Each structure stands twice: as structure tokens, then as C-alpha cells.
């Protein structure tokens, strides 16, 4: 059962008062999902709004989920090592105010970062709340949370914190200014369509491992290999690493068309959603799209 903790800032505070959470109702509460969870399970969650992107104190989240705030720093340190690469772009060192009023710089994560570390948290007899909160997050469509509140913001939020870093990375890899700009522009569109289609999948019966299966299917149709094969072949931890602008464009096309098919066919459940994704392959020429993205058109005007 969820536990009520009067103050997460009191790293030794705890309470035996139990609160039964109501079922998630995304349409009636516009707050970010992490704040809803913190409220329902009775723990404080310090947060900052930076240019429209919300960041949450990682130790507050871990302490609240485990019901053991005094051990939150140690527990988070272990989780951070497991998912270090995936959390990199979600993480910011920001001001944290402790119970004694002292201020520290600690890790704050976006909502996606919180959900990522939650996946690695194990349920024990002493921390049953972990399982309850994870089920609650799944029922509430945690990974589609930003899309439910503001679909356009979903495409912008991650880009704000990663574009400059990624641009520098692409330049270091030998990309020209044009190629780096093209890659970032296409990747932003692909992210937006991915967020949107995950929300559609959630609304049409997807759950648990279904998201990974459907994502693999989209990547396979778009690039000729699954996300799992891509990570293995390129020896990367993220299935989107190493993709060209053309491949990102194809993922965007497949996601967008599949989303339309899901709704027009009123598809529901993994088999129907997967079939829709496969049917998009007849609508494009993968090799031709890659070829066109590699071309450079000569200027047809003097630029004025």
C-alpha cells in the first residue's frame, strides 16, 4: 500500500498512514504524472521548470517509491550506474533544498528519466509500493504522459536539452553544418510521431512488452532491421543511435502512416496494430528515400 510521508526532505521521516490511490484518470488532472504519483503516495518531489521542461529530484522519486528516503541516495546511485547512458540527456544538476535548509546541487531528471529508473527498481517485501507505483504508471500510460497533456510540447521538450549536444557530436563525427541541421530537423519530426503513436497504441490496448514489439516492427519496416538487430549490429545501447537522416525520416513516415491506419481501421490489440505497421511498407521505397536524402540540389536562385 502507498505510504504517506509528511516530508521527503526529512530523509529520516516516515509514516504508517496508508492511502489507497484512485485509478488514474489522465483527462481530469492536467498535472505532470510524477507530481500526481508523489501526491497519491504521499511524498514530496522537488522539481524545477526550465524553459517548459520539468525536472524532478531523483532522490525524492527513489525514496518515495521505496518508502525509504534515508537510503535514497545509495539506491539512486546504483540505478544511475545501470542506466547511465540512457539517463544522460535527461539529467541536470540543479538546486535541492534539504530539511535543514542547506542547498545542494543534485541530479534532477525529466519524467522519462524517472520512468526509466523505475523500470530497474525491484519489488521487495519492504518496498511493495514499487510494484504498485509501476502498475499505476503503466495504467496511466506513463510514456505517453506528455502527449496526453500537450502533443506539441512532447516534440520540443527533449530537443531543447539535447539538440546542442547532438549538433556538436555530429560535427565531431564529420557532418557538415547542413547535414547536422538536416539530421536534427528530421529526428525532431521522428520523435514527435513516435510520441504520438505510442499514445495511440496505449489507447488501443497495448501494454507491457507490446510497446517494444511494436517499436521493433516500426524500425524493421522503416530500416530493414529491428531495433534489437540495430543495437547488436552497431553495438550501441540506444536503438536510435547511428541512424541516418533518411532512416529517421522513414521511421517518421512509418509511424505517421501507421497511426492513421490504426484510427481509420479502428484497430485494437497487438496483432491488428502490428499488421497496420507492416502494411505501410507498400507505400514507400526505402532505397529511393535514402538516395534522395543523400543528394545535394544545386542552387536554382541567387539566394536573394
Element at 109 (helix H, strand E): strand 103-109
| pTM of the model as a whole | 0.43
- Residue 246 — φ and ψ, nearest 5°? -65, -40
Residues 107 and 170 in one domain: no
Which single residue is written with the C-alpha cell 542506466?
83
Average pLDDT in the chain: 76
What average pLDDT score do residues 273-297 get?
79
pLDDT, tens digit, 9 for 90 and up, residues 158-181: 444 456 667 777 778 787 777 777
Residues in the chain: 304
Share of the chain above pLDDT 70, in %: 72
Residues 154 and 129 in one domain: no
Q: Under DSSP, is residue 76 helix (H, G, I), strand (E, B) or coil?
A: helix
Chosen domain end from 85, 119, 143: 143
Whether the predicted pLDDT of 195 surpasses 50: yes
20 found inside a domain: no
- Choice between 14 and 287, residue whose per-residue pLDDT is larger: 287
Chosen domain end from 143, 164, 194: 143
Share of the chain above pLDDT 90, in %: 23
How many domains would you assign to the chain?
2
Whether the predicted pLDDT of 252 surpasses 90: no
pLDDT, tens digit, 9 for 90 and up, residues 124-133: 667 777 888 8
pLDDT of residue 304: 43
The boundaries of the domain holding residue 260 are 150-294
Whether the predicted pLDDT of 32 surpasses 90: no
Whether the predicted pLDDT of 28 surpasses 60: no
Residues 167 and 103 in one domain: no
Residues 68 and 95 in one domain: yes
Residues 120 and 230 in one domain: no
52 found inside a domain: yes
Lowest mean pLDDT across 108-112, 141-145, 255-259 = 141-145
Lowest mean pLDDT across 146-150, 253-257, 294-298 = 146-150
Contact 207, 268 (CB under 8 A): no
Chosen domain end from 143, 170, 196: 143
37 found inside a domain: yes
Angle between helices 210-223 and 177-203 in degrees, nearest 10: 140
9 found inside a domain: no
pLDDT of residue 272: 95
β-strand partners of 108: 57, 92
What average pLDDT score do residues 77-84 get?
78
Residues 121 and 185 in one domain: no
Residues 236 and 221 in one domain: yes
Residues 42 and 177 in one domain: no
Whether the predicted pLDDT of 64 surpasses 50: yes
Q: Under DSSP, is residue 89 helix (H, G, I), strand (E, B) or coil?
A: helix
Residues 243 and 265 in one domain: yes
d(CA 262, CA 255): 10
d(CA 170, CA 7): 44
Residues 101 and 216 in one domain: no
What average pLDDT score do residues 78-87 get?
74
Contact 88, 116 (CB under 8 A): no
pLDDT of residue 131: 80
Residues 94 and 196 in one domain: no
Residues 218 and 285 in one domain: yes
Lowest mean pLDDT across 42-56, 149-163, 171-185, 262-276 = 149-163
pLDDT of residue 193: 82
pLDDT of residue 39: 92
- Choice between 83 and 44, residue whose per-residue pLDDT is larger: 44
243 found inside a domain: yes
Amino acid at each position: 500500500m502507498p505510504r504517506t510521508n509528511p516530508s521527503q526532505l526529512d530523509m529520516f521521516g516516515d509514516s504508517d498512514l496508508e492511502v489507497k490511490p484512485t485509478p488514474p484518470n489522465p483527462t481530469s488532472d492536467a498535472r505532470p504524472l510524477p507530481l500526481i504519483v508523489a501526491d497519491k503516495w504521499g511524498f514530496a518531489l522537488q522539481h524545477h521548470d526550465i524553459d517548459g521542461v520539468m525536472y524532478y529530484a531523483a532522490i525524492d522519486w527513489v525514496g518515495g517509491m521505496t518508502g525509504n528516503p534515508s537510503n535514497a541516495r545509495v539506491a539512486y546511485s546504483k540505478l544511475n550506474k545501470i542506466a547511465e547512458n540512457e539517463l544522460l540527456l535527461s539529467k541536470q544538476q540543479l538546486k535541492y533544498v534539504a530539511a535543514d535548509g542547506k542547498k545542494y546541487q543534485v541530479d534532477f531528471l525529466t519524467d522519462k528519466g524517472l520512468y526509466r529508473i523505475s523500470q530497474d527498481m525491484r519489488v521487495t517485501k519492504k518496498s511493495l509500493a514499487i510494484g504498485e507505483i509501476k502498475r499505476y504508471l503503466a495504467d496511466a500510460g506513463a510514456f505517453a504522459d506528455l502527449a496526453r497533456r500537450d502533443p506539441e510540447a512532447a516534440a520540443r521538450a527533449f530537443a531543447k536539452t539535447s539538440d546542442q549536444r547532438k549538433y556538436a557530436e555530429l560535427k565531431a563525427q564529420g557532418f557538415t553544418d547542413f547535414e547536422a541541421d538536416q539530421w536534427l530537423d528530421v529526428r525532431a519530426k521522428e520523435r514527435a510521431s513516435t510520441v504520438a503513436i505510442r499514445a495511440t497504441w496505449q489507447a488501443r490496448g497495448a501494454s507491457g512488452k507490446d510497446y517494444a514489439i511494436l517499436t521493433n516492427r516500426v524500425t524493421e519496416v522503416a530500416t530493414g532491421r529491428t531495433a534489437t538487430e540495430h543495437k547488436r549490429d552497431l553495438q550501441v545501447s540506444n536503438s536510435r543511435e547511428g541512424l541516418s537522416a533518411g532512416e529517421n525520416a522513414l521511421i517518421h513516415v512509418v509511424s505517421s502512416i501507421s497511426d492513421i491506419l490504426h484510427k481509420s481501421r479502428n484497430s485494437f490489440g497487438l496483432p491488428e496494430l502490428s499488421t497496420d505497421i507492416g502494411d505501410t511498407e507498400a507505400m514507400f521505397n526505402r532505397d529511393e528515400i535514402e538516395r534522395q536524402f543523400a543528394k545535394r540540389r544545386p542552387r536554382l536562385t541567387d539566394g536573394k
